[in-house]
Amino acid sequence: MLDAFRATDYFTLVREASSEKELASLIDGGQAKTGLIIPPDYANKVTRGQTVPVAFIIDGSDPAVAGGALSAATLLGQTQSVKLRVQQLSRQASGGSLASPVDVRSQVWYNPDMVSAYFMILA
C-alpha cells in the first residue's frame, strides 16, 4: 500500500510516524497535510485474503487540497484492492471470501465537510 502512494506524483513521503499521536502532531504542526495508518499485520491479513482497514488522515483546513487528497487516496485504495483481489483469485481455484482486501477509511480533520466558505475573509 505504501509503495502505491509513493509511486504517485501526488503524495510525497515526509517521514514515518511511530504512533497516531506523532501523526497528529505532524499534521497539527503543519509538517504534513495527510497521513496513512497501515496496521502492523497488514501483509499477513492481505496474504490470508482478509479485509484490512487502512486509515487515511487528511488535514481539511484547505478544502481544495483536502478534496484532491481524498480523491487520490480513494482511487489508490480501490486500485490496490483490485490488484490484490486479482492476485488472490489467480491463486485460488475455487472458494474463499470475496471481501475487498483493502478498506481505506478517510478522515478529514478540522473541516470535515471541506467547506471553503469557512475560510474566506471578506475585505
Query: What separation, in Å, do the N-terminal and C-terminal C-alpha atoms of the chain show?
Result: 45
CB 21 within 8 A of CB 55: no
Residues 101-113 have a mean pLDDT of 82
Q: Please tell me what DSSP assigns to residue 15.
A: -
Cell 481505506 maps to which residue? 104
At residue 98, what are phi and psi to the nearest 5 degrees? -105, 25
- Label residue 100 by pLDDT band (50, 70, 90): low
What cell does 39 get? 496496521
Tens-place pLDDT, residues 8-34: 888 888 889 999 999 999 999 999 999
Domain extents in the chain = 2-111
40's grid cell: 502492523
Per CATH, the homologous superfamily of domain 2-111 is abc type-2 transporter like domain (3.40.1710.10)
Whether the model clears a pTM of 0.85, i.e. scores above it, the answer is: no
